[in-house]
Every structure is written in structure tokens, then in C-alpha cells.
Amino acid sequence: MDFLLQFWRCSLIKTDIKSLSLQELKTEIENMGEKAFRAKQLYEWMHKKLARNYSEMSNISSNLKEVLAQKFDYVSLKEAEVQTSKLDGTRKYLFELSDGHFVESVWMKYHHGNSVCISSQVGCRMGCRFCASTIDGLARNLTPSEMLDQVYAISRSTGERVSNVVVMGTGEPLDNYENLLKFIQLITDENGLHISQRNITVSTCGLVEPMRRLADEKLQITLALSLHGSTQEKRKELMPIANQYDIHEVIAACRYYFAQTGRRITFEYSLVAGVNDTDEDAENLCRLIDGMNCHINLIPVNPIKERDYRASARSDVLNFQNKLESRHINATIRREMGQDIDGACGQLRRRYHGKEESLGDG
């Protein structure tokens, strides 16, 4: 009985066609008795021409489209809201997934090209104290296609080419390892958008085993580590994940990443007034990363209404940067993009949640 139930359930779950590699798609298409070149056509419609649905695929017969629709799920995110910054043109998108969850993504225009920041999970279970994305915990992982379609939907909406992708939105990408890797494989594929590995950044709060596993993949992507504290004690105050991994273990994993890939590590350090922004903090930071080939991004913390952390004063931020530079450590202050729209990670989604709830209540 259980077996029958399971069989029935499995037969209801359709394969997610946009998460398949070209090779996997070829196998599926051939098993359906179709010619292999159809797979290449379909793949290009999805990953190069960024089709929203099967009906846009003009060189695919309506018969085949019907069969495909029965057999496969076609992920296409629905734009629920877009905010555009009047200051710098940054756009923040809120997308609705097919099960009613929401994710946010950001589009930023830089001199060197357009960047998209994507989410990797619905919510997050890492619990960083200053982060809005983690307040309601983790709902679920995003599939490769849901990560891809954030980039595709933004590219369709702006009509512009995306040259950089940063996995720095809601979620912990290394807590969704397999899907992240598949996403990277698909977005860098020459038959798709063909974004260079060097133009992809993955940011982690420091999950040591997956960091080492990623190093062994020997990809050319940039690994960004959210450090936010220069000692184990300071890090623990802001990031519960520090209870699981000691700061020295995390730094050792960063050194290993560089050794395996030759890619310079980026450290993210959010400056919180009175918590991690003193001369002593800067000194400890210099000692911690001594001799590493790295870059530090200093980010004045973006206050969220659920917590009372404040951003460091401008003079303290500059002082912190000077201390690092006097020790020949490359440090930049992150340019704040889209300050006039819901800035911090997860704020747009939370605000939207609030609106939905109050609509429901009222």
C-alpha cells in the first residue's frame, strides 16, 4: 500500500526541465523517441533566448510542446514588485515562486557591467544577528532553475546583458550545495548565457566542509567569506554559526581555497557601531589574515527594524580602513547601492510578507 502511494506521488512530480544540463536533456528527449537536436533547440530557447514558456518556442511543433508540458515543469518566476532607485538606477525585484513563496534579487549597474545579486534559499537558517533574511528561518532550498530564472527574468526585464552574478541575496548558498553547483554549471555553459566563472561570486558565512569541497572542484569563481568579527568571541556575538566552526578553522579553509584555485578571497566585514569597529578590532583582523592574498569589503551595517544595531560612524569606518591599509591590506568601503529602496538583505521580502498578512487579517 505504502509502495503504491509512493509510486503515485512520484508519478505526480514532474522533472524540472530548466535544471537539466544539455546532456541530461538529450537523454530525456531521446528516451521520448525524439531526435537529439531537439534537445539543443530546447536548451537554447530556455538558456540563451530566455523563453518564458513553451509557447514562445517557434521552431518546436505544437505536438511536442504538449508532450513537454505534460512531462516537465517549466520554472518561470513571476515579477511581484520592482523598486528602482532614483539615486543610481539599482533595481530590487521581488519574485513569486510557483508554490507562493517569494524571493528577492537585485540588479546593479556598474562601469564594468551589470551585476545581479540572487537568493539561494527561501529564508535562511544561519541566524546572523543583523540580517533580516534569517528572522523567520529557512522555508526551503531554491532549485537550480529558480536561481537561474532570477538572472533570466531580470535580463528580460532590463533588456540588458548581465555580466556578473553574485550569490549574496537571501540564504546560505553552501547550505544548498548541489543545487548551487548545478546553477553555476548551467549559467557558465557556452550553450546558455555563458557567464565567465571569474564573474561569479559566492558568499558564505563560513561552512567549513562545503568550503573545502568547493575548493576541490577547482572552479574559477570568487569565494567571499562573511567574517564580521576578528576573534572567535566577537564573531560569536554576531554569527551563531561561529559556535559550530572556530574562526581559525574557517580561515584555514579560505587558505585552502586559495591554494586549490589560485583565486583571491574576499572578506566581508560589516561594521557595527561599538561592536567590531575599534582600533583593537582592526589590529586583530590584520593578525588573523596575515600574509593572505585577499581583499576586504567594509560594509557599514544596514540597520533593520527588528534589531538595534547601528552602522559605525563615517570617521570610524575610514579609520578602520586606514588601519588595514597601513598594514598593506587591500580594503574598500562598499559603495552603498540603492539606499533609497529597501536596502538590506531580505527587507523587501519581509515588508511584502507584512503587507500580505495585514491584507489577510483585514
**Positions marked catalytic:** 104, 345
Read off φ and ψ for residue 94, nearest 5 degrees: -115, 125
- List the one residue from 195, 242, 345, 348 that touches ligand SAH (CB under 6 A): 345
Q: Which residues make beta-bridge pairs with 91?
A: 84, 107
HSE, side-chain direction, 13 A CA sphere, residue 38:
15
Contact 300, 317 (CB under 8 A): yes
Cα–Cα distance, 95 to 115 (Å, whole number): 17
Pick the closer one to ligand SAH by CB: 122 or 126.
Answer: 126
| Interaction of residue 226 with ligand SAH, rule CB under 6 A | yes
Q: Which of 304, 329, 331, 337 binds ligand SAH (CB under 6 A)?
A: 304
C-alpha closest to that of 225 among 320, 295, 275: 295
Nearer to ligand SAH, 46 or 168 (CB): 168
Assess contact for 277 and 234: CB atoms under 8 A: no
Could you tell me how many residues of this chain bind ligand SAH (CB under 6 A)?
Answer: 18
Greatest Cα pair distance, the chain, in angstroms, is: 71
Provide, rounded to whole angstroms, the least separation between the CB of residue 312 and ligand SAH: 11
According to CB under 6 A, which one of 39, 50, 68, 128 is a site residue for ligand SAH? 128
Comparison of 52 and 334: residue with beta carbon closer to ligand SAH: 334
Q: Does 183 bind ligand SAH (CB under 6 A)?
A: no
Strand order in the sheet with 222-226: 78-84, 91-96, 102-110, 113-117, 164-167, 200-204, 222-226, 265-271, 294-300, 331-333
Please, which residue, 192 or 210, has the CB nearer to ligand SAH?
210
Helix (H) or strand (E) holding 7, with range, is helix 2-12
Q: Is 104 in the site for ligand SAH (CB under 6 A)?
A: no
Residue list 3-22, contact with ligand SAH (CB under 6 A): none
Q: How far is the CB of 124 from ligand SAH (least distance, A)?
A: 6
Confirm or reject binding of residue 97 to ligand SAH (CB under 6 A): no
Integer Cα distance of 214 and 164 in angstroms: 19
Please report whether residue 150 would count as binding ligand SAH according to CB under 6 A: no
The least distance separating ligand SAH from the CB of residue 344, rounded to whole angstroms, comes to: 4
Cα pseudo-dihedral 90, 95, 101, 105, rounded to 10: -30
Nearer CB in complex with ligand SAH: 76/347? 347
Contact mark string toward ligand SAH, 264..303, x via CB under 6 A? ----x-x----------------------------x-xx-
Report the nearest approach of ligand SAH to the CB of residue 226 (Å).
3
Residues 60/53, Cβ–Cβ less than 8 Å:
no
Q: Contact with ligand SAH (CB under 6 A): which of 103, 205, 215, 285?
A: 205
CB of 349: closest distance to ligand SAH in angstroms?
A: 13
| Options 7-15, 46-54, 128-136, 141-149: segment touching ligand SAH (CB under 6 A) | 128-136
Q: Least separation, in Å, of the C-beta of 121 and ligand SAH?
A: 9
Please spell the DSSP secondary structure of 52-102, one letter per residue: SSGGG-TTS-HHHHHHHHHHEE---PEEEEEEE-TTT--EEEEEE-TTS-E
Check binding of 203 to ligand SAH (CB under 6 A): yes
121 touches ligand SAH (CB under 6 A): no
> Could you tell me how far CA 38 lies from the centroid of its own chain?
31
Q: How far apart are CA 207 and CA 73, in angstroms?
A: 32
Q: Assess 105 for contact with ligand SAH (CB under 6 A).
A: no
- Which residues here bind ligand SAH, judged by CB under 6 A? 126, 128, 130-131, 168, 172, 203-205, 226, 268, 270, 299, 301-302, 304, 344-345
